[in-house]
């Protein structure tokens, strides 16, 4: 019983240590994942900010182009239609180029953002699955620890009951032994008076016992 109790206690202690380690690992992993997600969110935010600045730069160029075109047209005489048309064609081409560049930058940013978002969601799903597995392992260790503690408690109750039973048995044996010793002492140290002895002999005769040498058998007080 004591060996079994010691084994259960050692097993319970080991499970508790493992559970605490698993709990600490789970908490550490959660913090790491939170930091990783925050880092990825910051990268996405930086990417959006970079795209915003690029769009503003291209819009600024388009605005400067319009201002430059306006100044060039003002510098050309109204009757010089050929020069004015050439300036307008150049401006249209440059404006179309800027619009195309803005569109390409926007699409490139959307692709990069979509890739980042997909990567973030994929990692998040993997991390959540890993966290769930760690939570389940921790919960299993906790249930095992509770079961082992219940078994240990049951073993302690059984040991206490058995100890009470053994104690009662020892007490009973001591009581019976004492009674036996007292009875034996009484019988061995009892010497009847002569009248008691004769009466006992007569009783023996009545029940068919043959008389013997009474004085050899037992000393009689006179």
pLDDT in tens, 156-211: 788 788 888 888 887 877 777 677 666 666 666 655 556 665 665 666 555 554 54
CB burial readout 120-158, b (16+ within 10 A) else e: beeeeeebeeeeeebeeebeebeebbeebeeebeebeee
**What is the reported pLDDT for 175?**
74
**What is the reported pLDDT for 36?**
84
Report domain 2-184's class.
mainly alpha
* Whole-angstrom distance, CA of residue 40 vs CA of residue 116: 8
Averaged pLDDT of the chain: 77
* Whole-angstrom distance, CA of residue 166 vs CA of residue 175: 14
The pLDDT confidence band at residue 84, using thresholds 50, 70 and 90, is confident
The pLDDT confidence band at residue 123, using thresholds 50, 70 and 90, is confident
Domain residue ranges in the chain: 2-184, 191-222
Q: Where are the beta strands (DSSP E) in the chain?
A: none
* Whole-angstrom distance, CA of residue 198 vs CA of residue 203: 9
Q: Of 62-71, 74-83, 213-222, which one has max mean pLDDT?
A: 62-71
**What is the reported pLDDT for 6?**
74
The residue length of the chain stands at: 222
Q: Which two tokens stand for residue 181?
A: 């010793």
* Whole-angstrom distance, CA of residue 40 vs CA of residue 47: 10
| Average pLDDT of the segment spanning 116-133 | 85
CA-wise closest residue to 105 among 62, 41, 156, 64: 62
**What is the reported pLDDT for 110?**
85
* Whole-angstrom distance, CA of residue 166 vs CA of residue 64: 104
CB burial readout 15-31, b (16+ within 10 A) else e: bbeebeebeeebeeeee
| Average pLDDT of the segment spanning 20-35 | 84
């Amino acid at each position: 019983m004591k060996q079994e109790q010691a084994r259960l206690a050692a097993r319970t202690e080991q499970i508790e240590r493992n559970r605490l380690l698993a709990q600490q690992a789970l908490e550490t992993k959660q913090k790491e994942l939170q930091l990783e997600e925050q880092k990825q969110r910051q990268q996405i935010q930086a990417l959006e900010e970079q795209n915003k600045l690029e769009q503003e730069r291209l819009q600024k160029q388009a605005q400067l182009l319009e201002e430059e075109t306006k100044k060039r047209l003002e510098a050309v005489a109204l009757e010089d239609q050929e020069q004015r048309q050439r300036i307008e064609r150049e401006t249209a081409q440059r404006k179309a180029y800027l619009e195309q560049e803005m569109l390409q930058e926007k699409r490139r940013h959307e692709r990069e953002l979509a890739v980042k978002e997909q990567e973030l969601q994929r990692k998040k799903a993997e991390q959540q699955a890993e966290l769930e597995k760690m939570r389940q392992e921790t919960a299993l260790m906790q249930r095992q620890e509770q079961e082992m503690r219940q078994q240990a408690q049951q073993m302690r109750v059984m040991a206490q009951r058995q100890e009470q039973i053994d104690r009662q048995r020892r007490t009973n044996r001591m009581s019976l032994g004492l009674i036996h010793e007292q009875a034996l002492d009484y019988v061995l140290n009892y010497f009847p008076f002569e009248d008691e002895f004769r009466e006992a002999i007569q009783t023996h005769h009545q029940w068919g016992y043959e008389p013997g040498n009474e004085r050899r058998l037992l000393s009689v007080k006179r």
